[in-house]
Amino acid sequence: MPSIAAHRWLMTAPGAPLVREAFDATPRAGEVVVQVAGCGVCHTDLGYYYDGVRTNQPLPLALGHEISGHVVAAGDDAGKGATGWIGRAVIVPAVLPCGECDLCRRGLATICRAQKMPGNDIQGGFASHIVVPARGLCAVDEKRLAAAGLTLPQVSIVADALTTPYQAVRRAGVAPGDLAVVVGVGGVGGYCVQVARAFGAEVVAVDVDARKLDACVRDGGAALALNSRELDAKALKKAVADFARARGLRSTEWKIFECSGTAAGQGTAFNLLVHGATLAVVGFTMDKVEVRLSNLMAFDARAIGNWGCPPELYPAALDLVLDGKVRLAPFVETHPLADINAVFHAVHAREITRRAVLVP
């Protein structure tokens, strides 16, 4: 088996400084070694690091699940096509289903019980290299990438920040003429705004951060921005309803996306339910929220959870970026991987408002 000298940054305990470790990247049958071009810093990573969210694999563990890079080695094919990836630019899906179990065969790959999530089930992408299953990788056409004015590190965030809301928008059935409301327009929510717009919806952005709201209107195509810090629940819902009326949109069947990953955001999203609404829960928080579930019955509404995105949907999501329908560059900034501890602190302190991508 080929082996490559590599390094990664390990989380040894919640809140403790991440530590650099050397290791040999050795693929097994059906696996590849990806030389990391970039790895995005996600709210989930901060949850593991600061908030006590448990990883499935015990510490020490390299975090990071938004990964792009080049395949530089492969284990034995074992009939799984690993060697065919060598030399290609790829995005590593944030959740890699096994592709072989009953759930996967029935099109339920997102709940595959043998799935592997880098930085949770296996060692993650805050590293020079990562070993992952070859199954499910998303190829990146580097000529199209260059033509779009983007770099391989920038599109690392497609692995989660874009594809997770992409799946949520598809599941919610967003179509031209719909009203979509996105609560929390940070790293994931900002892309949810763009994807919903690409699917034909008029989009209302809701957040407590004026800078993020301004960016969503200026660069993300939101038709209206509302600061929920300045409006109570009743006034916020009225403002959305007034916007719908002024634009000739339906007062029913709103598509509401909770992307803040906060208790306050989840409460805000639930309070926006109207008749026939769809509430898509995309963000995660350890906090509990008290809601009246009977509202779902009374409004004949539905709530949908969203975990990752099936790998087969990645190419279509990436096409939105390469075709210019979703903009990445205004919402991404790169930093050296060696600065990981400082970057984690800055993102957590909201000193960095764009998606930070760490580059080895």
Q: Which of 290, 305, 320 is the last residue of a domain?
A: 305
Domain span holding position 273:
163-305
Question: For position 313, which CATH number holds?
Answer: 3.90.180.10
Whether 297 and 313 share a structural domain: no
Average pLDDT over residues 332-354: 95
Whether 175 and 206 share a structural domain: yes
- 41 vs 25: CA distance, rounded Å: 22
Question: What does the chain come to in residues?
Answer: 360
Q: Note the pLDDT of residue 286.
A: 86
pTM over 0.85: yes
Whether 203 and 349 share a structural domain: no
Whether 12 and 125 share a structural domain: yes
Tens-place pLDDT, residues 151-177: 999 999 999 999 999 999 999 999 999
Listed in sequence order, the residues at least 6 apart from 274 whose beta carbon sits closer than 8 Å to its beta carbon are 241, 251, 252, 253, 254, 299, 301
- 328 vs 79: CA distance, rounded Å: 36
Q: Note the pLDDT of residue 343.
A: 98
Q: Note the pLDDT of residue 117.
A: 97
The tokens describing 4, both together, are 């490559």
Q: Note the pLDDT of residue 3.
A: 77
Tens-place pLDDT, residues 247-276: 999 999 999 999 999 999 999 999 999 999
Whether 286 and 317 share a structural domain: no
- Residue 340 clears pLDDT 90, i.e. is over it: yes
Parallel, antiparallel or unpaired: strands 332-336 and 355-359 = parallel
For residue 83, what pLDDT band results from cuts at 50, 70 and 90? confident
Q: Which of 262, 285, 305 is the last residue of a domain?
A: 305
Tens-place pLDDT, residues 97-123: 999 999 999 999 999 999 999 999 999
Whether 289 and 331 share a structural domain: no
Q: Which of 259, 283, 305 is the last residue of a domain?
A: 305
Q: How many CA atoms lie within 13 A of 225 on its CB side?
A: 21
- Residue 80 clears pLDDT 60, i.e. is over it: no
**More confident: 243 or 308:** 243
**The total number of structural domains that make up the chain:** 2
The percent of residues in the chain predicted with pLDDT above 90, rounded, is: 92
- What Å distances lie between residue 258 and 119, 187, 196, 349, CA to CA? 24, 13, 13, 21
Whether 259 and 343 share a structural domain: no
Question: For position 224, which CATH number holds?
Answer: 3.40.50.720
- Residue 78 clears pLDDT 60, i.e. is over it: no
Q: Note the pLDDT of residue 81.
A: 65
Q: Note the pLDDT of residue 353.
A: 83
The tokens describing 297, both together, are 């019955």
Whether 193 and 295 share a structural domain: yes
For residue 2, what pLDDT band results from cuts at 50, 70 and 90? low
Mean pLDDT estimate for the chain: 95
Whether 234 and 320 share a structural domain: no
For residue 77, what pLDDT band results from cuts at 50, 70 and 90? low
Whether 238 and 137 share a structural domain: no
Whether 155 and 22 share a structural domain: yes
Residue 344 contacts residue 41 (beta carbons within 8 Å): yes
Whether 246 and 314 share a structural domain: no
Tens-place pLDDT, residues 202-226: 999 999 999 999 999 998 999 999 9
Helix runs in the chain, H state only: 43-50, 102-105, 142-147, 163-172, 189-198, 210-218, 233-247, 263-271, 294-298, 314-322, 340-348
For residue 56, what pLDDT band results from cuts at 50, 70 and 90? very high
